[in-house]
Structure 1
Amino acid sequence: MHIPPYHKKKTWQRFFAGALVGGIIAYIIFIFMYGTMYENQLKKNLELTSQVNDLKNQNEALLKDTENLKTPVTVSVIDITIENAEEISLDSLVVPKLEELVKDEISHITGQSVSIVDEIDQLLISAIENKEYTIDDLRYQFTVRKLTISETVKVFLEAETVN
């Protein structure tokens, strides 16, 4: 039995070349779509992890608050905002990690009385500003622009990279 020599005809060569190029383009599109989807899922996972940690801290604060009904108003939530994230071109995956590191640094104030936290505001500012935070072999240092103390402690930070 003889197999016809289709590989010598120009029309079949064009067909096989087109199928190969089409397969490569389809694979590139698939990899791009998968990478975009995975990045979005990773962002969502980081946000949800941060929310879970916040809720755990808030729950602990509320449990301590019910034990000590004598304390009037306590800190229940810490909100961190990095104001210049776009200016220094921070990656959207790095920002939640940095915010979480700063929250961990001052998480001990959760459940404390607002009056006590108000007295140690300079200590909080010093604790944030004097520490270098490392993510992916890059070190960051923060400057506190604004600190608002109430049931929700709001900290507005300005980030800079350290060489």
Structure 2
Amino acid sequence: MRIPPFYKLPSWQRFFSGMVVGGIVSWMIFIYMFGTMHENQTKLIEEQRNEISKYKNTLSYLQEEYKQLNKKNEDQLTIQEVKIKLINPTKTKVELLSIHETEDRLSGDLRSLINKDLETAYGTRDLIKKIIENKTVELNDKSFTFKVREIYFWTTTQITLELKYEE
């Protein structure tokens, strides 16, 4: 098999040389366009990287400030409500209405705790406990005292009391 002698004809020589020159020119245009596009993408990525690092620094600063504000606010929390819960009513056989009225009365007596900061209220917990335990209540013609079981100090302070016969 033999290659046809097209390389001797000037028209074919121009065609092949045009293909080679066109291939080289198109390759150079491709390399230029790809390089330009790649350079733009690299710039964009670098700008985004800088922006992300700036945002991370801002975020860490804001988070640290947020933690400090939370700590400061937590130190300044105040009591908003005082809830009293009486337990042991079945053993003492006291009416639920009387227990509810007693809880309301005790909540009213401890109203002075409202708007006090938690640290101050927690510091006076022994005094609060003694005030409650020294209180005597008449229910169904019987005298009762209270025994403090639990005191939870938070924005809603909850005090759990046990109802006992006075001795």
TM-score grouping bracket, smaller chain normalisation:
0.5 to 0.7
The aligned residue for residue 99 of structure 1 is: 103
Shift of 1:142: 0.1
Question: Does residue 149 of the first structure (1) align with residue 153 of the second (2)?
Answer: yes
Percent identity for Structure 1 against Structure 2: 18
Shift of 1:129: 0.2
| Count of aligned pairs | 94
Task: Select 2:82's aligned residue among 63, 66, 78.
Answer: 78
Question: Does residue 130 of the first structure (1) align with residue 146 of the second (2)?
Answer: no
- C-alpha separation between the residues in 2 aligned to 1:108 and 1:135? 25
- C-alpha separation between the residues in 2 aligned to 1:127 and 1:89? 24
| TM-score, L = length of structure 2 | 0.52
Q: Is the helix fraction higher in 1 or 2?
A: 2
- Gaps (5+ residues) in structure 1? 1-68
| TM-score, L = length of structure 1 | 0.53
For 1:1-163, list aligned pairs within 5 A: 72-135=76-139, 137-162=141-166
Root-mean-square deviation over aligned CA pairs = 1.9
- C-alpha separation between the residues in 1 aligned to 2:154 and 2:105? 21
Q: Are the equivalent residues in 2 in contact too, given 1:77–1:152 (CA < 8 A)?
A: yes
- Secondary structure, aligned partner of 1:86: helix
- Secondary structure, aligned partner of 2:93: coil
